[in-house]
C-alpha cells in the first residue's frame, strides 16, 4: 500500500536524516533557493554571531563587501574598537529586524535625528551604534556628520550587494519613547542614562517581526531589485533578560520566535532563503558538544563545520584567484586582505569570543 511517505528521501526521516547521517557534513540539510557564486558581492549584518559568518566567508576569499573599510593607519585591535571589519558597514551589531528596518528608512530618507545622541563626559555618542566611536565625538555636530556619512555608505552597500546575509539575534530591545526608535543596547550600558520616562522595554512578537522583515524586503527592492536575502538565526543564548521571565524561558522564546519568523518569510518569498545554522548548532542529534563550558560560546570547530556546510551548499569552497573582502568605493570596488582568525582549543572558554564585539555581553557586568 502506498502513502504520502512511501517515496520520501532519507532526509525526511529522523532515523536516516539525523540518527544515521554524517554529522560532520549533514547531507541535504540545506538546499539553496538561488545561486551565490565566488564572485557574488555579499553583505553581512546582524548579531554578534554574524561576525563569525563574515569571518568564515572572508577566510574562503569570498568577496565580502566593506562599505567603510579600515583606515590604513589602524591596526587590527584599534579597527575592532572602532567598529571596522566586523560587518559590511560600521552599523555595529543589529540584533532585531526593527533595527535594520529603521536603519534602511534613515538611509532612504537621509535622515538623522539629533535626539538620538547621548552625551557622556562632554563627549557625544550615536545611540543607534554607540560602540563604533568608543571615545565619542567632541561635538554633536561631528557626531551628526559621521552618521550622515555612515548612511551614505550603507546606501552604497545595499545598492552594490548581490546577497545580504542577516543574522537574527534578539527579540528584546529598548525603545526611545520620544522618537520611537529601537536601540542596540540598553541606555546606561555604554553611554546615556536610563530614564523610564524616556525608554521602554519591548519584546517583539512573531507578527511584528514578520511585518518588519517584509518591509525590509520592500526597501531592499527599492534600492536594488536584484538583491537577495539570506536569513540565519544566532544559536547563541541571550546574556540576560529584562522580561521578568527566567533567562532559560526568555532565551527559548527569543530563539524559537526568530527561527519561526525567518522560516516563514523564507517560505513566502522566492528571493529570501533561510540557512539552518541555528539547527546545526543546537540539535541534540550532534555527536559532540557545540558549546564551551559557559554554554553560550560556540566552539570554533563547530562554527567551522556549520560554515563549511553553507559554503558547500553554494559551491563556494576556496578557489585560487577569487577576491577577499571588498572595500566599496562609489561605484567601484577594491579588494583588500581579510583578517585570519587564530584559535587555541586549550584556551579559556571565554577566549573564543575575544575577537567578537558584542554589546549584549556587557550585561554580564551587571549580574549580582
* Residue-level pLDDT, tens digit, the chain, 368 residues: 789 999 999 999 999 999 999 999 999 999 999 999 888 999 999 998 888 888 888 888 888 999 999 999 999 999 999 999 999 999 999 999 999 999 999 999 999 999 999 998 999 999 999 999 999 999 999 999 999 999 999 999 999 999 999 999 999 999 999 999 999 999 988 888 899 999 999 999 999 999 999 999 999 999 999 999 999 999 999 999 999 999 999 999 999 999 999 999 999 999 999 999 999 999 999 999 999 999 999 999 999 999 999 999 998 876 544 445 566 653 333 332 333 333 333 334 444 555 666 666 555 555 55
Q: What pLDDT score was predicted for residue 335?
A: 31
Query: How high is the pLDDT of residue 86?
Result: 93
Can you give the pLDDT at residue 214?
99
Angstrom distance (rounded) from CA 213 to CA 105: 13
Determine contact, residues 92/126, Cβ cutoff 8 Å. Answer: no
Q: Looking at the whole model, is its pTM more than 0.85?
A: yes
Q: What does the pLDDT read at residue 46? A: 96
State the pLDDT at residue 326.
61
What's the full length of the chain, in residues? 368
165 closest CA partner among 214, 233, 238, 102: 233
- Residues 52, 365 contacting (CB under 8 angstroms): no
CA atoms lying within 13 Å on the CB side of residue 314: 23
pLDDT at 327: 66
CATH topology of domain 38-91+154-181+203-338: Rossmann fold (3.40.50)
Amino acid at each position: 500500500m502506498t502513502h504520502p511517505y512511501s517515496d520520501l528521501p532519507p532526509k525526511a526521516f529522523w532515523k536516516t536524516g539525523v540518527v544515521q547521517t554524517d554529522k560532520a557534513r549533514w547531507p541535504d540539510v540545506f538546499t539553496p533557493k538561488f545561486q551565490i557564486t565566488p564572485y557574488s558581492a555579499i553583505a553581512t549584518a546582524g548579531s554578534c554571531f554574524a561576525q563569525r559568518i563574515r569571518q568564515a566567508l572572508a577566510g574562503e576569499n569570498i568577496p565580502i563587501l566593506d562599505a567603510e573599510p579600515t583606515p590604513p593607519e589602524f591596526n587590527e585591535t584599534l579597527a575592532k574598537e572602532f567598529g571596522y571589519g566586523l560587518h559590511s558597514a560600521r552599523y555595529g551589531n543589529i540584533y532585531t529586524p526593527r533595527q535594520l528596518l529603521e536603519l534602511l528608512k534613515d538611509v532612504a530618507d537621509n535622515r538623522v535625528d539629533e535626539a538620538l545622541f547621548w552625551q557622556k563626559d562632554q563627549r557625544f555618542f550615536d545611540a543607534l551604534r554607540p560602540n563604533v566611536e568608543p571615545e565619542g565625538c567632541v561635538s554633536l555636530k561631528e557626531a551628526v556628520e559621521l552618521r550622515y556619512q555612515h548612511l551614505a555608505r550603507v546606501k552604497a552597500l545595499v545598492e552594490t550587494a548581490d546577497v545580504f546575509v542577516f543574522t537574527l539575534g534578539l527579540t528584546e530591545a529598548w525603545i526611545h519613547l520620544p522618537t520611537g526608535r529601537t536601540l542596540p543596547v540598553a541606555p546606561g550600558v555604554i553611554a546615556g542614562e536610563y530614564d523610564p520616562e524616556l525608554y521602554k522595554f519591548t519584546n517583539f512578537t512573531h507578527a511584528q517581526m514578520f511585518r518588519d522583515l517584509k518591509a525590509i524586503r520592500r526597501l531592499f527592492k527599492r534600492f536594488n531589485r536584484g538583491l537577495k536575502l539570506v536569513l540565519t538565526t544566532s544559536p547563541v543564548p541571550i546574556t540576560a533578560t529584562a522580561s521578568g521571565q527566567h533567562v532559560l524561558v526568555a532565551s527559548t522564546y527569543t530563539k524559537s520566535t526568530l527561527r519561526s519568523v525567518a522560516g516563514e518569510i523564507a517560505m513566502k518569498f522566492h528571493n529570501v532563503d533561510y540557512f539552518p545554522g541555528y539547527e546545526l548548532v543546537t540539535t541534540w542529534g550532534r555527536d559532540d558538544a557545540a558549546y564551551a563550558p559557559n554554554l553560550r560560546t560556540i566552539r570554533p570547530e563547530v562554527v567551522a563545520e556549520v560554515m563549511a556546510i553553507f559554503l558547500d551548499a553554494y559551491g563556494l569552497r576556496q578557489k585560487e584567484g577569487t577576491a577577499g573582502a571588498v572595500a566599496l568605493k562609489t561605484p567601484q570596488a577594491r579588494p583588500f586582505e581579510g583578517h585570519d582568525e587564530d584559535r587555541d582549543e586549550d584556551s579559556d572558554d571565554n577566549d573564543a569570543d575575544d575577537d567578537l564585539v558584542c554589546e549584549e555581553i556587557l550585561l554580564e557586568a551587571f549580574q549580582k
